[in-house]
Amino acid sequence: MKYFKYLASLPILISLIAGAYGTLNYINKLTAQIDESTDTINILKVEVENLEQRIYGDIDNIHAIFNDKTSRNSNNYASAREELVKEMAEMASWVGRIEGIVAALRDGSYKLASQAEYQALEELVRTNSDAIRQIGYDIKDLERVASGGY
């Protein structure tokens, strides 16, 4: 009878062992899942850091290219502007020489020409003076446009 008493508690003992086994098995699976998730999170963190570094590198490259092109454009613009100013100064001196020659020719024509020649030359000088004056106005307009005026 003594043994029957222990035999009656056997199902309770088996259910306790089964419950403990199930609990330990469940905890083991959760631990494995947590470890796997932690590894995945670490891998994702590394991938995100790599992507950030690549993006920042691309942004730095774009910034460097933009600065280089902007610098070259500024230098080209300054060079072109200097060249334009030189050409305009040369044109102004050329117009001045032409005005001097025209004035000298006009003075010489007063002394040498007959009345008909004098009138024809006077008309020619007037036309040339108007044309030269118009060139002077055009040069001033070009200077105003080149300097950013209206």
pLDDT tens-place values along the chain, 150 residues long: 566 677 777 778 888 888 889 899 999 999 999 999 999 999 999 999 999 999 999 999 999 999 999 999 999 999 989 998 999 889 888 988 888 888 888 777 666 656 777 778 788 889 988 888 898 888 888 888 888 766
Under 8 Å between Cβ of 85 and 77: no
R_g over Cα of the chain: 49
Residue 73, both tokens = 């454009």
CB 109 within 8 A of CB 121: yes
Q: What secondary structure letter does DSSP report for 148?
A: T
Distance CA 83, CA 75 (A): 12
Per-residue burial over 122-133, b = 16 or more CB atoms within 10 Å of its CB, e = otherwise? eeeeeebeeeee
pLDDT confidence of residue 39: 94
- The rounded distance, in Å, linking the Cα atoms of 105 and 122 is 10
